[in-house]
Chain A
Amino acid sequence: MTPQTKATLQKLGPFIALLIICIGLSFMSADFLTVGNLMNVMRQVSINALIAFGMTLVILLGGIDLSVGSILAVSSVLTAMLMKAGCDPIIATLAGILAGAVMGSINGLVIAKGKVAPFIATLGMMTVLRGLSLVFSNGSPITGFSSDFFSMLGGGYVAGLIPVPVVWMLLMFALFWFVLKKTVFGRHVYATGGNAEAAKLSGVKTDRVQIGVYTLSGAMAAMAGIVLTSRLNSAQPTAGSGYELDAIAAVVLGGTSLTGGRGWIFGTLVGALLIGVLNNGLNLLGVSSFYQQVIKGVVILLAVLLDRANKK
């Protein structure tokens, strides 16, 4: 085996694991391999995947974004409040995503210009924003804003088959793949994450790259918030807590290095699907939800250990 084929196999490792689990589950449960169930899994995965796409860029920079769950909640509450106040749902949706981008850009500014470690900066933002979402909503869920357009965003189907959130997920996947693979910005993300000093000395405006990436991460969290709000038909100030960890797990399962500079968006999609399929499969098999957590954690650890062993 040449080193190149080995590297490719290694990169496809998570994908192969996903296939194996899917094949296994289709034998173990008659309900798994049905169009309805698979679409259901994809829809459940979509929210985590949207957040994880943004998180992939953050982790490629060698950073981390713990505030995504809180950004999701604030955007969700703001959008719901706007619509309740009579704002057009399209404008409210765009405003919610914009708000997420602004919150993300504050992360980026604090990290790039204030030189605060990403873990600390986003931990602070996570707490501040969770508080704000409670302040704005007065601590209780906001409901009674439904409109056809808004309900479609999270609950609709394309061609009566594909859930709209899955379409968002695939569109964003394509967009992020293109950005990372084909644009100057994407190249600068890899360079900054791989060696910030060398990138800077090569004329890369690393501060701008950082701010841009955290802004994108915020916008993606907000988008996930919109989908969730639409699906539940209510905005919860406590929504999204713990989502940052699922997103990080998806990114890491997909083979992106936590030290930055190495990784790809396809891996993240596969990582998110792996987590989703596992959840779904364990449910179908009737495994208790307590054990499900244990199994999920073990799978994540095993995947990362395998990855380590392979790289030696």
Chain B
Amino acid sequence: MSPWISGRRPEKGLIEMQIKMRGISKAFGPVRVLEGVDFTLTAGEIHALMGENGAGKSTLMKILCGVYQSDAGSIEVDGHPVHIRSTTDAEALGIAIIHQELNLIPQLSVMENLFLGREPRRFGMIDSRRMREEATQWLTLVGAAHIKPEAEAGTLSIGQQQMVEIAKALSLNAQVLIMDEPTAALTEREIDKLFAIMSDLKAKGVAIVYVSHRMEEIFHICDKISVLRDGQFVGERVIAQTNFDEIVKLMVGREIGDRFPQRDSALGDVRLKVDQLADEGNVSGIDFDVRAGEVLGIAGLMGAGRSEILKTIFGVNHRTAGEITLDGTRVALPSPSAAIDAGIGFVTEDRKSQGLVLGLSVRENATLVHLDQYARAGIVNGRAEREAVNKLIDELHIRTRDAELDVKSLSGGNQQKVVFAKWLASPPKVLLLDEPTRGVDVGGKAEIYHIINRLAAAGTAIVMVSSELPEVMAMSDRILVMHQGRQAGIFDARTATQETIMTAATGGN
């Protein structure tokens, strides 16, 4: 039993609660994921944990919250060694994790989710009144009093569900909150709200581990930053005393050069022209054109209809009005396969559910779109296929030992490069990109920017939706801003500022 479980909790202000992980090592079979990692977390701080995909961040956090056991090393809480053998042990120590994929049961109500497995009882029956009262208290505590305890969890927005998860963690007496990419699916407004709650929790002495790839956010909200690289601890910095470049260098172990590489492609003729496009209620009145060699960024808040524009062009969503012209010819594009035949490619937002078939190999994924190119009379020429795949692997610097490995064994950035490879076997006239660098680490991002630039230079017209404003601003020639399903304007990226974009995106003038 740890001293905490037996009831003695350090009094606030007297002893600073501290978790020390020392020399943590972990291997899965022959693969060493962590080697002698140190990590120190103190009450009342927001501590960013950074590193490229595969650096070992999530493994380290899973050891801290009892999902995995370390092979070597120790964990101390307030100087007392503890053994965290299960998530129950971690819970008893006040350590809670909020996963990227939220874990609420959508069919149950908010309060049923909050008290799942520990429902307040009265005469053996669930005491709904008490449950509602307590749920309201916890929701109020995280500034989410507007969420009704009776509401079905599945009807809440992702941001609201996250609030419920945080409330649940606190109701379990969490002193340490681990948040894994919490802002990935949030709107600007929800992010602001989340940050306000995090500051509030910090002031109350909660320690927060913040795992994210978003540099701007980390420098905005965090106090300290620990960096892992290839399973090793490479350093801890105080945010106020470091800068962006130093952190990137720690993460990748080298200078990556420009964060956003320069592109100098000459603009050609208009390739894609969209007139008064509308779908079944998400977007309407969309008007733009993209030239060969041009990158048109699409910015806007979550839910403003950015992805829907791409889906409607690609024939996933039903187009109810408007015209699409490709290289001067009007096209119908009723389905994805028709769009592909017309020369359009689509790198989808969610590579796991829409981009890749995870059970298939790198080769089989990379050739899925253009398999016909290597086939005659429906029979695949295995050698032609393998040669083409090896060429793509070289060109896109996909790091895999073998094209026959399951694509799910690759890191996020390399998986995303396989998604690009699908479309590049035959260079598309137009490539639609939906959040092309989501969940990709800094080094991988730079490589993907290079791929985008190379495609543009070769004459592909690119339409890119992104939630990362710096990325849209740096990578685009022009930026189309969406507001509530309508186009708020198209701005020249050279003259636009973050303020002008955000003003347009929020409906201001």
Contacts and interface: CB of A to CB of B under 8 A. Distances in A.
Interface of A: 3, 182-185, 187-188, 190-191, 194-195, 197-205, 261-262
B368 A199 contact: yes
Given A3-B29, A183-B378, A183-B379, A201 B360 contact: no
B422 interface: yes
B336 A201 contact: yes
30 contacts: A183-B375, A184-B371, A184-B375, A184-B380, A187-B371, A187-B380, A190-B357, A190-B360, A191-B364, A191-B368, A194-B357, A194-B358, A195-B353, A195-B356, A195-B357, A195-B358, A198-B348, A198-B354, A198-B355, A198-B356, A199-B368, A201-B314, A201-B346, A202-B336, A202-B340, A202-B368, A202-B369, A202-B422, A204-B368, A205-B337
In the A-B complex, the 8 residue pairs with the smallest Cβ-Cβ separation, listed nearest first, are A194-B357, A203-B340, A203-B337, A194-B359, A261-B359, A195-B357, A202-B368, A202-B369
A185 B372 CA distance: 10
Contacts of B340: 202-203
B316 interface: yes
B360 A194 contact: yes
A203 B354 CA distance: 12
Given A183-B378, A184-B380, A187-B380, A262 B359 contact: yes
A193 B354 CA distance: 13
Nearest to A3: B29
Q: Which one of A182, A183, A184 has the highest number of Cβ atoms from chain B below 10 Å of its Cβ?
A: A184
Contacts of A198: 348, 353-357, 368
B172 to A, nearest CB: 29
Contacts of B379: 182-184
A185 B378 contact: yes
Contacts of A182: 379-380, 382
Contacts of B336: 200-203
Contacts of A202: 336, 340, 368-369, 422
B461 to A, nearest CB: 19
A256 B413 CA distance: 30
A261 B360 CA distance: 8
Q: Which one of B353, B360, B379 has the highest number of Cβ atoms from chain A below 10 Å of its Cβ?
A: B360
Given A184-B380, A203-B337, A205-B337, A190 B364 contact: yes
Contacts of B337: 203-205
A262 B361 CA distance: 11
Nearest to B29: A3
A200 B314 CA distance: 11
Given A197-B353, A201-B348, A183 B360 contact: no
Nearest to B376: A184
Nearest to A207: B335
Contacts of B371: 184, 187-188
Given A187-B364, A203-B369, 10 more contacts: A182-B380, A187-B368, A187-B380, A190-B360, A199-B368, A200-B336, A201-B316, A202-B422, A204-B337, A261-B360
Contacts of B354: 197-198, 201
Nearest to A191: B357
Contacts of A203: 336-337, 340-341, 369
A205 B340 CA distance: 12
A270 B69 CA distance: 39
A188 B368 CA distance: 8
Nearest to A2: B30
Interface string B378-412: 11101000000000000000000000000000000
Interface in B211-266: none
A191 B356 CA distance: 9
A205 B372 CA distance: 13
A155 B358 CA distance: 45
A184 B378 contact: yes
Interface in B395-442: 422
Nearest to A192: B357
Q: Which one of A182, A195, A199, A202 has the highest number of Cβ atoms from chain B below 10 Å of its Cβ?
A: A202
A199 B357 contact: yes
Nearest to A190: B360
Nearest to A186: B380
Q: Which one of B29, B340, B353, B354 has the highest number of Cβ atoms from chain A below 10 Å of its Cβ?
A: B354
A312 B346 CA distance: 35
Contacts of B353: 195, 197-198
A203 B356 CA distance: 13
Contacts of B314: 201
Q: Which one of B29, B340, B371, B382 has the highest number of Cβ atoms from chain A below 10 Å of its Cβ?
A: B371
A164 to B, nearest CB: 28
A199 to B, nearest CB: 7
Contacts of A3: 29
B358 A183 contact: no
Contacts of A190: 357, 359-360, 364
Nearest to A260: B359
B498 to A, nearest CB: 32
A183 B360 CA distance: 15
B135 to A, nearest CB: 35
Interface in B279-330: 314, 316
A261 B357 CA distance: 9
Q: Which one of B314, B340, B359 has the highest number of Cβ atoms from chain A below 10 Å of its Cβ?
A: B359
Contacts of B358: 194-195
B213 to A, nearest CB: 23
Q: Which one of B316, B348, B380 has the highest number of Cβ atoms from chain A below 10 Å of its Cβ?
A: B380
Nearest to A205: B337
Contacts of A185: 378
A198 B357 CA distance: 6
A187 B371 CA distance: 9
A205 B337 CA distance: 7
Contacts of A188: 371
Contacts of B364: 187, 190-191
A196 B57 CA distance: 31
A184 B336 CA distance: 18
A261 B29 CA distance: 26
Q: Which one of A190, A197, A198, A205 has the highest number of Cβ atoms from chain B below 10 Å of its Cβ?
A: A198
Contacts of B359: 190, 194-195, 261-262
B340 to A, nearest CB: 4
A148 to B, nearest CB: 36
A174 to B, nearest CB: 14
Q: Which one of B353, B357, B358, B369 has the highest number of Cβ atoms from chain A below 10 Å of its Cβ?
A: B357
A1 to B, nearest CB: 10
Nearest to A200: B336
A120 B139 CA distance: 43
Nearest to B314: A201
B27 to A, nearest CB: 14
A261 B359 CA distance: 7
A261 B355 CA distance: 15
Contacts of A191: 357, 360, 364, 368
A190 B348 CA distance: 20
A184 B314 CA distance: 23
